Amino acid sequence: MIELRKLKYDEVNVGDEIPSYQNTWDKMTGIIYAGASGDFNPIHVDPDIAKLSGQPNVFAHGLFNMALLGRTIIDWIGDPGDLKKFSVQFRARVFPGDTVTFKGRVVEKMEGNMVRLEVWAEKENGELCLKNGEAVVYLP
Q: Mean pLDDT, to the nearest integer, of 23-46?
A: 96
What is the rounded CA–CA span in Å between residue 33 and residue 36? 5
Mean pLDDT of the chain: 95
End-to-end CA distance of the chain: 21
Could you tell me the pLDDT band of residue 8, with boundaries at 50, 70 and 90? very high
Residue 6: the pLDDT is 86
Confidence of residue 2 (pLDDT cuts 50, 70, 90): low
pLDDT at residue 1 greater than cutoff 90: no
- Homologous superfamily of domain range 9-25+62-138: Hotdog Thioesterase (3.10.129.10)
Q: Which residue has the higher pLDDT, 43 or 81?
A: 43
Domains of the chain, by residue range, sit at 9-25+62-138
Least reliable range by pLDDT among 20-24, 80-84, 100-104: 80-84
CA separation (Å) from 2 to 49, 86, 121, 138? 47, 28, 31, 22
Phi-psi label, residue 11: left if phi above 0, alpha if psi -120 to 50, beta otherwise: alpha
Kindly state the average pLDDT of the residues 50-54: 97
